[in-house]
Amino acid sequence: MRMRALAAAALATGMLTACGGSDSGSGEKQTVTMWTYPVIADQAKHQAFWDEQTAAFEKANPTVDVKVEIYPWAKRDEALSTAIAGNKGPDVVYLIPDQLPKYAKTLQPVDEYLSAEAKADYRDNAKASVTIDGKMMGAPILMTSNPLVCNQKAFTEAGVKEYPTTWDELLELAPTFKDKGIDVTNYWADPAATLNQSFYPLLWQAGGDVFAPDGKKVAFAGPEGIKALTFLKKLVDGGYVEKDLLTGLPKFEQTNVAQNKVACTWQHVPADVETFWGKENIKVFPPLKDAKQVGYGTVGSLSMLKAADDKDAAGKWIAFATRAEATKAYDTASGNFSPQKSTGSLYASDPVQAEMEKTLDFTTAGPLNEKARDVMGVLAPEIQAALIGKKTPEQALADAAAAADALLGG
C-alpha cells in the first residue's frame, strides 16, 4: 500500500542521550527537550518551523531553552522505550493515539497546562483521541482523515453519475463498474496492512467496535463485525475488488487504483492518487455509512513525560506549540488539518483539501488500548482467511476473538 513515505534510517545510540533540563532547584536556566518526527516532509522547512517557534517562546520565557530534535519515523517506539527505560527520554514527545496507552504510565496529563479556552477549542473527536481515564495525555497539533475518495474518470468511463454514500449503494454499482473492467473499490487484506484504514472503518460503520467498553475483551466478533466482514466477502466473491491485494502488497504503481481501474477507496488519500488520477478527477466525500457514518483519522499530539525535569516549563512549551496560530502554520506546511475549531478552513482555495477538511468530524482514531496493535496482529490474518475462502466470517472472527482475549487476559 502506498503510504506517506517513512524515513528509513534507524536512530543512532547517541540520539538517545537527549534530554531533560537542569535541576529545577539549581537556579539555572531550564531546558525543555522535545522529540518529534518528519511531519513536514521537507527537512529544512520542518527545522525552520520549530526554530521560529522556539525563538518566539524563548523570547517570552527567557529562563527556558527549548531544544526540538527531529528523528526518523523508523523504529521510533523502540528508541523512545529504550530512552525512557534508561532515564534519558525527552521532556516532550510527539505521539499518535495508538501510542498513548503504551506510554500512559510514563506520561503526565496535560490538562492543567492548557487553558480552558484552549481545551474548549478542540474538536470533540480530537480531544477524545488523546483522553485516557478522563485525562488528556497529549495536546493535539494535527488531524488527518481517510474519507471516501472517488475517481471521476472511472465514473465517466462506466457511465455512472451518482456517487455512493452507503454500503448498499456501493454494492449496487459494483456490477456496472465490473462490466467496464473497473473495480468498485479496493481492499488490502495482507496482514501487513493496517486495519485502521481497511477493516476497522467498516466495523465502526456497522455500529461495532474493536474492544468491549471495559477494554478487557474484544467486541469485533459480534453481529456488527460479522456484518462488516460479510460485506467485504460479497465484494471479493463478486469479483469487485482486486484479488492480488488479498494476499500480497504489490507496488502501488502496479495496482488497479494507480491504473485508474478503481472507482472509490477509503484506503488512500488524495495525496496518494493525485499523480495517477490527476487532481481534477479526485472527488472527496464523507465516509460510507451503514448504521453509522465514520472513518479513520489520526491525531498527532505533544505529550509530556512524567520524568520531565521542569513540568511547568514543559507545560508552557506544549501550550505555546499547540496554540491555534502554531497549529495552523504547522498543518498547512505539512498538508494536514487543524484539530481546533477557531482556525477555520486552512484550504479554502484548494477544492480537494477543502472537501477533506469537511470530513474531519466524521473521523475517529480508534481504540485507545495498550494491546491495540497486538490485537490487530491476530485479527488481520483471520480476516484474510475469510476473504480467501479458508474460513467463514463467523469462524474467522471467533478464532481471532479467542486469540485476542487471551492477549488481554480474558
Q: Which DSSP string do the residues of 359-395 spell out, in sequence order?
A: TGGGEE-----TTHHHHHHHHHHHHHHHHTTSS-HHH
As given in the structure block, the three cell numbers for residue 208 are 461495532
Q: Provide the percentage of residues in the chain whose pLDDT is more than 70.
A: 93
| Topology of domain 13-142+301-354, CATH | D-Maltodextrin-Binding Protein; domain 2 (3.40.190)
Q: Provide the percentage of residues in the chain whose pLDDT is more than 90.
A: 92
Alpha-carbon distance 73 to 35, whole Å?
Answer: 11
What pLDDT score does 29 carry?
Answer: 86
Owner of C-alpha cell 534510517:
9
Q: Which DSSP string do the residues of 143-212 spell out, in sequence order?
A: E--B-EEEEHHHHHHHT--SPP-BHHHHHHHHHHHHHTT-BS-----STTS-GGGTHHHHHHHTT--SB-
Report whether pLDDT(7) > 50: no
Burial label for 377, CB within 10 Å (0-12, 13-18, 19+), is: middle
Distances in Å between the Cα of 248 and the Cα atoms of 101, 194, 243, 245, 251 are: 30, 13, 9, 5, 10
Where in the chain are the domains?
Answer: 13-142+301-354, 148-296+371-408
The chain-wide mean pLDDT, for the chain, equals: 93
Cα 186 to the chain's mean position, in Å?
Answer: 19
Q: Give ∠ CA 243-245-181 in degrees, rounded to 5.
A: 50
Report whether pLDDT(13) > 60: no
Report whether pLDDT(46) > 50: yes
pLDDT per residue as tens digits for the range 231-244:
999 999 999 999 99
What pLDDT score does 18 carry?
Answer: 38
Question: Same fold for the domain at 13-142+301-354 and the one at 148-296+371-408?
Answer: yes
Residue 391 and residue 226 in contact, taking contact as beta carbons nearer than 8 Å: no
Burial label for 351, CB within 10 Å (0-12, 13-18, 19+), is: middle
Alpha-carbon distance 403 to 410, whole Å?
Answer: 10
Report whether pLDDT(15) > 50: no
**Residue 136 — φ and ψ, nearest 5°?**
-80, 120
pLDDT per residue as tens digits for the range 252-281:
999 999 999 999 999 999 999 999 999 999
pLDDT per residue as tens digits for the range 157-168:
999 999 999 999
Report whether pLDDT(4) > 80: no
pLDDT per residue as tens digits for the range 54-107:
999 999 999 999 999 999 999 999 999 999 999 999 999 999 999 999 999 999
Q: Which DSSP string do the residues of 57-97 spell out, in sequence order?
A: HHHH-TTEEEEEEE--STTHHHHHHHHHHTT---SEEEE-G
Give the Cβ contact number of residue 133 at 10 Å: 8
What predicted TM-score, i.e. pTM, was given to this entire model? 0.90
pLDDT per residue as tens digits for the range 112-155:
999 999 999 999 999 999 999 999 999 999 999 999 999 999 99
Query: Under CATH, domain 148-296+371-408 is a member of which superfamily?
Result: Periplasmic binding protein-like II (3.40.190.10)
Report whether pLDDT(22) > 80: no
Q: What average pLDDT does the segment 193-205 reach?
A: 97
Q: How confident is the model at residue 171 (pLDDT cuts 50, 70, 90)?
A: very high
What pLDDT score does 182 carry?
Answer: 98
Report whether pLDDT(169) > 60: yes
Query: Residue 71 is which amino acid?
Result: Y
What pLDDT score does 245 carry?
Answer: 97
* Closest among 193, 299, 169 to 242, alpha carbons compared: 193
Q: How confident is the model at residue 12 (pLDDT cuts 50, 70, 90)?
A: very low
What pLDDT score does 81 carry?
Answer: 96
3-class DSSP state of 250: coil
Q: Which residues of 214-248 are buried (b: 16+ CB within 10 A; e: fewer)?
A: ebeebbbbbebbbbbbebbbebbeeebbbeebbee
Alpha-carbon distance 302 to 96, whole Å?
Answer: 9
What pLDDT score does 27 carry?
Answer: 57
pLDDT per residue as tens digits for the range 26-39:
457 899 999 999 99
Q: What average pLDDT does the segment 326-348 reach?
A: 97
pLDDT per residue as tens digits for the range 209-225:
999 999 999 999 999 99
**Residue 66 — φ and ψ, nearest 5°?**
-115, 130
What pLDDT score does 410 carry?
Answer: 64
Alpha-carbon distance 118 to 140, whole Å?
Answer: 10
